[in-house]
């Protein structure tokens, strides 16, 4: 049996071994999900409109009564 084994030349000791590498699924970071909600970065137009109306209403309320304001 041994006579049929191929003869493999020895590698020099100091030569680094060529790494054989399988696709690294095994080396991927562990699965440990963390919920990461998308942030809101654009103001909602409706909220802006509401704020504008509230501001105007407050301004009108602060004005003294006169021709520009009934009552």
Partner 1 sequence: MAGRAESRGERAGGTRALAVAASVLAAAAAGMVFYIYGAADGVDPLDVLRAGLIFLSTWWLAWGAATALLGLTSRQRPAVARAPGAVCGRTVVIVPVYNEDPRVTFARVAAMDDSLRAADPSIPVEFAILSDTRDDRIATAEQRWFARLLARQHGEGRIFYRRRERNTGRKAGNIEEFVAASGAAWDYAVILDADSLMEGATLHEMIRRIEADPRLGLLQTLPKVIRARSIFGRAMQFAAGFHSPVFARGLAAMQGRTGPFWGHNAIVRLRAWAECCGLPELPGPPPFGGHILSHDYVEAALLARGGWTVRLDDDLQGSYEEGPENIVDHAKRDRRWCQGNLQHAKLLDAPGLKPWSRFVFVQGIFAYIAPLIWLAFIAASIAAVYWTPEPDYFPYENWPFPVFPDDQTAKAVGLAVGVFGLLVMPKLLVALDAIATGRARCFGGAGGALRSVLWELLLSSVIAPVLLAFQSRSVLQVLLGRDGGWPPNNRGDGGLSFAEAWAAGRWISLWGLAGMAATHLLAPVLLYWLLPVTLPMLVAPVLIWWTSRTAGAGVFPVPEDAAMPPVLTRHDAVLAAWAAPESEVEVA
Give me the least distance between CB of 71 and partner 1, in Å please. 35
CB of 21 to partner 1, least distance (A): 4
Q: Does 2 bind partner 1 (CB under 8 A)?
A: no
Contact residues for 11 (Cβ-Cβ < 8 A; gap 6+): 17
x-marked contacts with partner 1 along 9-38 as a string, rule CB under 8 A? -------x-xxxx-xx--xxxxxxxxxxxx
Distance CA 44, CA 31 (A): 35
Residue among 51, 52, 71, 48 at smallest CA distance from 61: 71
Nearer residue to partner 1 within complex by CB, 48 or 60:
48
CB of 3 to partner 1, least distance (A): 34
| Distance in angstroms (rounded) separating the CA atoms of residues 21 and 5 | 26
């Amino acid at each position: 049996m041994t006579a049929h084994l191929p003869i493999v030349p020895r590698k020099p000791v100091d030569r680094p071994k060529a790494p054989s590498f399988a696709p690294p699924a095994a080396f991927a970071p562990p699965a440990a999900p963390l919920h990461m909600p998308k942030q809101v970065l654009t103001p909602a137009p409706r909220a802006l409109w509401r704020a504008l109306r509230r501001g105007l209403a407050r301004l009108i309320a602060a004005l003294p009564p006169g021709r520009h304001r009934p009552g």
